[in-house]
Structure 1
Amino acid sequence: MTRVACWQPEWVTSRSHRDEFLDRLARIAAGAADGGATLLITPEMSATGYHLGRTRTAELAEPADGALADGVRAIAERTGVAIVYGWPESTGEGIYNSVQLVDADGTVAARYRKTHLYGQVDRSVFVPGEQLVVQARIGSLTVGLVVCYDVEFPETVRAHALAGTDLLVVPTALVRPWEIVARTLLPARAFESQLFVAYVNWYSSGPEGYCGLSAVAGPDGRRRADAAGIVGETLLFADLDHAALETARLATTYLLDRRPDLYGAAR
């Protein structure tokens, strides 16, 4: 059994300073540890905020091994909790919308760059990643990383399922009126590919419009944790039983019954 914690922060426009984020993350990670979690998941661009525009995003961008990463690694090591966080990653090719998984010992276990960019909000700021399946082992689970819009493509989730991902982590910044993604698509993706999916969003009552609705869905399509009805910031916990994956895959044999020989370019 693996317990994960999902942090749904309330959006505040001033929360874009590295030190402030690290202070808040340290408190949240301590709370996750107190709750028995071994993995803490935060939203898309959790370190800086999203929808900041090209200029501000560039000002806040850091390399993958910068001061932000050092701070998160120290928190993970101190609390004994693995952490997934998002930030604008500066590179020689441009800025990526990235997430990084830091293991409980402070080691960077995986880094993923968002492959499916959403409209001009993303394309005017970021360059797309080119590696679809990125994984790391956390406890008994193989954890895969994607970001927000990526999960809205069934091919992405199916690729993870075929590669052995048990828990697909989806930091997101979903806004109204697209609640259907969290309410309907999330459990469908988990069910059709027989894996756990953790969808972790911001919340805002202001013009930013982040709808919250963070949730963890299981391979049977049922929710293990759900922030529906919670207004504001929250820390959700979900217990993920590896045996549930085997049970679901025996009950609904989508992965075994595939006919890739018929799919052509859709494979």
Structure 2
Amino acid sequence: MRCAAIQMRSGVDVAANIAAMQTLIREAAADGAQYAQTPEMTGLLQKSRKDLMMAIKPDEEDPVFEAAAALAKELKVWVHIGSTPILLEGGKVANRAALFSPQGIRAGTYDKIHMFDVDLDNGESWRESAIYEAGEATQIVQAGEITLGLAICYDVRFPEIFRQQALAGANVLTTPAAFTKQTGQAHWHVLQRARAIENGAYVIAAAQGGTHEDTRETYGHSLIVDPWGNVLAEKDDDQPGHIVADIDISKSEAARAKIPNLKNARPYRVETQHVD
């Protein structure tokens, strides 16, 4: 199955972001992609809470999901919206991913579990939990020949999600992201490759990249990594575009046979020793 990671530079205009998404997915499909993944916050990157709340819609009215379903059906490809903000009851927001089949039917939905509440160097600080409602369940979805595990951005720093997905049958893990430039330069590649290696699975990571209209900077460098940790494709910059790679699930089976750590894991306890 040929898979694509779509790199974007989403801004504050939802309609413009949808148009950019459609163009990039069409280009990926023309390149043979049967599955296309967009980054976190495909539909809107907006720091202002007031402007964010004015721009977003409930799930059943969301124009990003509507456009993705129509495009999937038209192109007869799997379209994975890495995430987009969705209005919830009570004034909170979901950071929500959705996967659409080549028939335009929603096959999976996932709300980001781990909130990016951090204080970085140079005064960069984020508090996703102030606006977003954390999800409570991970999900795996059969998409043609591959079995996808759904996750979003900061989730990549919590390896237990991906281990549970792999144990449940996922052979392709997904980490669509809007990684900050600062953390991306330090950790992006090693985290994606580590999740692939430790689970014997492919990792597809579509990223936001560049300086956005709301002034944030994201790292780009969308990646597709194989189950042995090799980078099959990389968008080696922060510009919009796409990358493609062919996914062969037998390579996941081979990696897990060579290093069967999923089977070899044992229960254990942590003991604390105090010495006076």
Indicate which of 196, 205, 214 corresponds to 2:222.
214
Q: State the TM-score, normalized to the length of structure 1.
A: 0.90
Q: Take 1:145 and 1:71, find their aligned partners in 2: how far apart are those partners?
A: 20
Aligned residues: 256
Structure 1: state its 5+ residue gaps. Answer: none
Q: In the alignment, is the contact (CA less than 8 A) between 1:173 and 1:210 conserved in 2? A: yes
Question: Is residue 2:97 matched to residue 1:89?
Answer: no
Q: Percent identity?
A: 25
Deviation (angstroms), 1:205: 4.5
Partner SS state of residue 58, structure 1: helix
Partner SS state of residue 210, structure 2: coil
Question: Is residue 2:263 matched to residue 1:256?
Answer: yes
Amino acid in the other structure paired with 1:65: E
Partner SS state of residue 87, structure 2: strand
Q: Judging changes above 3 Å, is the alpha-carbon distance between structure 1 residues 35 and 153 closer, same or farther for their aligned structure 2 residues?
A: same
Deviation (angstroms), 1:231: 4.4
Indicate which of 205, 208, 222 corresponds to 1:202.
208
Q: Take 2:73 and 2:144, find their aligned partners in 1: how far apart are those partners?
A: 15
Amino acid in the other structure paired with 2:87: S
Indicate which of 13, 17, 24 corresponds to 1:17.
13
Question: What's the counterpart of residue 27 of structure 2?
Answer: 31
Deviation (angstroms), 1:151: 1.1
Q: In the alignment, is the contact (CA less than 8 A) between 2:62 and 2:86 conserved in 1? A: no
Structure 2: state its 5+ residue gaps. Answer: 118-125, 271-276
Amino acid in the other structure paired with 1:3: R
Deviations 1:30-67 (A, max 9, x none): 21211111111111111112x52322222222222214
Q: Take 2:15 and 2:216, find their aligned partners in 1: how far apart are those partners?
A: 23
Q: Take 2:43 and 2:2, find their aligned partners in 1: how far apart are those partners?
A: 23
Deviations 1:12-47 (A, max 9, x none): xxx333322222222222212111111111111111
Q: State the TM-score, normalized to the length of structure 2.
A: 0.87
Indicate which of 94, 112, 124 corresponds to 2:130.
124
Question: Is residue 2:54 matched to residue 1:55?
Answer: no
Q: Take 1:209 and 1:27, find their aligned partners in 2: how far apart are those partners?
A: 23
Q: Take 1:17 and 1:105, find their aligned partners in 2: how far apart are those partners?
A: 28
Q: Which has the larger radius of gyration?
A: 2
Q: Take 1:113 and 1:77, find their aligned partners in 2: how far apart are those partners?
A: 23
Question: Is residue 2:162 matched to residue 1:157?
Answer: yes
Q: In the alignment, is the contact (CA less than 8 A) between 1:144 and 1:169 conserved in 2? A: yes
Partner SS state of residue 97, structure 1: strand
Q: Judging changes above 3 Å, is the alpha-carbon distance between structure 1 residues 10 and 18 closer, same or farther for their aligned structure 2 residues?
A: closer
